Amino acid sequence: MPHVATMKTRVIRKYANRRLYDSKESRHLTLDEVRQLVVDGERIRIEDAKTGDDLTRSVLLQIIVEREEAGEPLLSSALLEQLIRFYGGEMQGFLANYLERSVEAFSNRHEALREQFLRFVSENPVTELTRRNLALWEQMQNQLFESWSNAPHKNDKNEDSK
């Protein structure tokens, strides 16, 4: 998969009726389909169909809110409180840059570890045990990332106590 920064941006138009239209595929998209484009590594830009204003951040935030409300959150209340405290402060720009670089480094490190493991396995005689271990490892990785991005999450413990 090419690096996201070098990919062409897919433009999606948002209409007054709140519908999202992908002219590349000539069809309307749901928020979940937009989320899947992002998960698949597509670079997107969402524009107001009438004004051309960039609505990408607000739509991506809407997707995050829906995922957070769907079950076990990625962003805890304590983390969200800390983030709110940085808005308008002198460290806001630094924190934004730090978070972006940290997530990018985490993603790159994950991919490098995966490639290193696959290279190790392919350079050595692959026994049946090694093949099984590789299959189990890949299954674990897929389940981990699906739980972060695709699979619905369990209800928050706070919701269960209501």
User: Running DSSP on this structure, what letter comes out for residue 8?
Assistant: P
Sketch the domain layout of the chain as residue ranges.
1-74, 76-150
According to DSSP, the residues that pair with 52 across neighbouring strands are: none
- In a 13 Å sphere around the CA of 125, the CA atoms on its Cβ side amount to 1
Res. 29: pLDDT tops 80: yes
Lowest mean pLDDT among 51-55, 80-84, 152-156: 152-156
Q: CB count, 10 Å around CB of 15?
A: 12
Q: Which residue has the higher pLDDT, 33 or 108?
A: 33
Res. 160: pLDDT tops 70: no
Q: Which residue has the higher pLDDT, 29 or 7?
A: 29
41 phi-psi bin (left φ>0, alpha ψ -120 to 50, beta other): left
Predicted pLDDT of residue 121 = 66
Average pLDDT, the chain: 83
